[in-house]
Amino acid sequence: MWLKPEEVLLKNALKLWLLERANDYFVLQRRRGHGEEGGGSGGLTGLLVGTLDSVLDSTAKVAPFRILHQTPGSQVYWSIACGASREEIYKHWEWLEQNVMKTLSVFDSNEDITSFVHGKIRGLIAEEGKDSLVKGEDPEKLREALMKFEKCFGLAKQEKLVTYYSCSYWRGRVPCQGWLYLSSNFLSFYSFLLGSEIKLVISWDAISKLEKTSNVLLTESIRVCSRGEDYYFSMFLHITETFFLMEQLANYAVRRLFDKETFENDLALNDPLKITKRTMEDLARSEQFSSFFRLPKEENLKEVHECFLRVPSSHLSAHGRMCVFENYICFASHDASLCSVVLPLREVLAIDKVNDSSQSVVISVKGKKAFRFSDVRDFEQLVARLKLKCGAASIPQQDVSTEPVPSPDPGSSGHSSKEPSLMGQKDCSKTVSTQALMTEFHPQDLENLDSKMLKEKMKEQSWNILFVEYGRGVSMFRTKKTRDLVVRGIPETLRGELWLLFSGAINDMTTNPGYYADMVERSLGTYTVATDEIERDLRRSLPEHPAFQSDTGISALRRVLTAYAYRNPRIGYCQAMNILTSVLLLYAKEEAAFWLLVAVCERMLPDYFNHRIIGALVDQAVFEELIREHLPQLTSHMTDMTFFSSISLSWFLTLFISVLPIESAVNVVDCFFYDGIKAILQLGLAVLDYNMEQLLTCKDDAEAVTVLNRFFDNVTNKDSPLPSTVQQGSTTSDAKSHQTKVDITDLIREANEKYGAIRYEDVYSMRRRSRLYVIQVLEETTKQNVLRVVSQDVKFGLRELEELYDIFKREHFLSCYWNLTSTTLRHHDPSLPYLEQYQIDCQQFRILYHLLSPWAYSANRDCLALWTFRLLDENSDCLINFKEFSCAFDILYNGSFTEKLKLLFKLHIPPGRGKLDVQAYLKQWQDELLKKEENIKDLPRMNQVQFIQLSKTFDNLFHGHPEEEELYQAIAVVTNLLLRMEEVGRRLHGTMSPTKEKASDSTTIGDPGNSSTPQPTEAAKELSPLKEEHQWSFAFEQILASLLNEPVIVRFFEKPVDVQAKLADAKASQLSSRTRV
- DSSP letter for each residue of 129-171: HTT----SSSHHHHHHHHHHHHHHH---TT--EEEEEEEEEEE
Which of 505-509, 536-540, 717-721 has the highest mean predicted lDDT (pLDDT)?
Answer: 505-509
Q: State mean pLDDT over 310-324.
A: 86
pLDDT digits (tens, 9 = 90+) for 3-17: 888 887 655 455 678
Query: For position 34, what pLDDT does the model report?
Result: 64
What is the per-residue pLDDT for 317? 86
Running DSSP on this structure, what letter comes out for residue 788? H
Give residue-wise pLDDT tens across range 574-604: 888 999 999 999 999 999 999 999 999 999 9
Please, what is the Cα angle at 584 between 713 and 332, to 5 degrees?
Answer: 100
Q: Please choose, from the candidates 165, 285, 337, the residue with its C-alpha nearest in 3D space to the C-alpha of residue 234.
A: 165
Instruction: Tell me the three state secondary structure of residue 323.
Output: strand
Three-class secondary structure of residue 328 per DSSP: strand
Determine contact, residues 332/292, Cβ cutoff 8 Å.
yes
- Which residue has better confidence, 1013 or 130? 130
Q: Strands of 334-410 (E only): list them.
A: 339-344, 348-354, 360-365, 369-374
> How many Cβ atoms from other residues are within 10 Å of residue 484's Cβ?
14
The pLDDT score that the predictor gives to residue 514 is 92
Torsion of CA 146, 149, 151, 154, to 10 degrees: -120
Q: Which residues, at least 6 apart from 935, have a Cβ–Cβ distance to it below 8 Å?
A: none
The string of pLDDT tens digits covering residues 393-445 is 544 433 333 333 343 343 443 333 333 333 333 344 446 767 888 888 766 66
Mean per-residue pLDDT for 915-919? 49
Q: State mean pLDDT over 1056-1066.
A: 91
363 neighbors 348 (Cβ within 8 angstroms): yes
pLDDT in tens, 949-981: 999 999 999 988 888 899 999 999 998 888 888
Query: Percent of the chain at pLDDT above 70?
Result: 79
Q: Write out pLDDT tens, residues 319-354.
A: 999 999 999 999 999 887 789 999 999 999 999 988
pLDDT of residue 1075: 56
- Angle subtended at Cα 328 by Cα 323 and Cα 331, rounded to the nearest 5 degrees: 35
pLDDT in tens, 19-45: 888 888 898 888 777 655 444 444 555
pLDDT higher than 70, residue 815: yes
Q: What is the pLDDT of residue 402?
A: 35
Using alpha carbons, select from 842, 830, 353, 399 the residue that is nearest to residue 611: 830
Burial class (CB in 10 A: 0-12, 13-18, 19+), 364: middle
What's the pLDDT tens digit per position in 90-112?
A: 888 888 888 888 788 778 788 88
522-550: average pLDDT: 89
* pLDDT for the residue 749: 94
pLDDT at position 1048 is 92
Which has more confidence, 112 or 898? 898
> Would you call 570 exposed, middle or buried from its count of C-beta atoms within 10 A (0-12, 13-18, 19+)?
exposed
Q: Is the pLDDT of residue 691 over 60?
A: yes
How deeply is 1020 buried, as exposed, middle or buried, from its count of CB atoms within 10 A (0-12, 13-18, 19+)? buried
Measured over all CA atoms, what is the biggest interatomic distance in the chain, rounded to whole angstroms?
Answer: 116
Which region among 480-484, 758-762, 1070-1074 has the lowest average model confidence (pLDDT)? Answer: 1070-1074
Q: In the prediction, which pLDDT does 888 show?
A: 94
Task: Give the residue among 818, 830, 827, 825 at the shortest CA–CA distance from 774.
Answer: 830
Instruction: Render the burial of 870-895: b for 16+ CB within 10 Å, e for the rest.
Output: bbbbeeeeebbbbbbbbebbbbbbbb
Helix (H) or strand (E) holding 317: strand 317-325
Look at residue 934 in the predicted model and tell me its pLDDT. 53
pLDDT-based confidence at 391, cuts 50/70/90? confident
pLDDT at residue 43 in the model: 54
Is pLDDT at 207 greater than 60 in this prediction?
yes
Nearest to 824 by CA among 832, 833, 815: 815
CA 729/CA 742 separation, integer angstroms: 11
Range scoring the smallest mean pLDDT among 107-111, 299-303, 636-640, 801-805: 636-640
The torsion angle over the Cα atoms of residues 725, 730, 731 and 734, rounded to 10 degrees, is -140
Instruction: Give the chain's mean pLDDT.
Output: 81
Contact 252, 280 (CB under 8 A): yes
Are 145 and 164 a contacting pair, CB within 8 Å? yes
* pLDDT confidence tier of residue 454, bands split at 50, 70 and 90: confident
* Per-residue confidence band for 51, with pLDDT thresholds at 50, 70 and 90: low
- How far is 145 from 923, CA to CA, in rounded Å? 61
pLDDT at 506 over 60: yes
pLDDT for position 269: 59
Q: Regarding predicted confidence, which is higher, 1047 or 997?
A: 1047
pLDDT of residue 821: 61
Classify residue 603 by its DSSP letter.
Answer: I
Q: Tens of pLDDT along 213-270? A: 877 666 788 999 998 899 999 888 888 889 999 999 998 888 888 766 555 555 555 6
Tell me what the mean pLDDT of segment 735-741 comes to: 62
**% residues pLDDT > 90 (the chain):** 38
Predicted pLDDT at 13: 54
Q: Are 177 and 194 in contact (CB under 8 A)?
A: no
**Residues belonging to the chain:** 1077
Q: Which amino acid is at 1062?
A: K
Confidence of residue 1020 (pLDDT cuts 50, 70, 90): very low
More confident residue, 1009 or 482: 482
- Identify which of 756, 732, 788 has the alpha carbon closest to the alpha carbon of residue 681: 756
b/e code 12-44 from CB counts within 10 Å (16+ = b): ebeebbeebeeeebbbbbbbbbbbeeeeebbee
Query: How far from 214 is each of 217, 773, 851, 932, CA to CA, in Å?
Result: 8, 21, 41, 59
Tell me which residue of 76, 110, 185 sits closest to 818, measured CA to CA: 185
Residue type, 325: F
In the predicted structure, residue 206 carries a pLDDT above the cut 80: yes
Query: Of the given ranges (276-280, 498-502, 562-566, 912-916), which has the lowest mean pLDDT?
Result: 912-916
Q: What is the pLDDT of residue 593?
A: 96
Residue 710 CA to residue 705 CA, distance in Å, equals 9
Res 591: pLDDT: 95
The answer on pLDDT for 926 being more than 60 is no
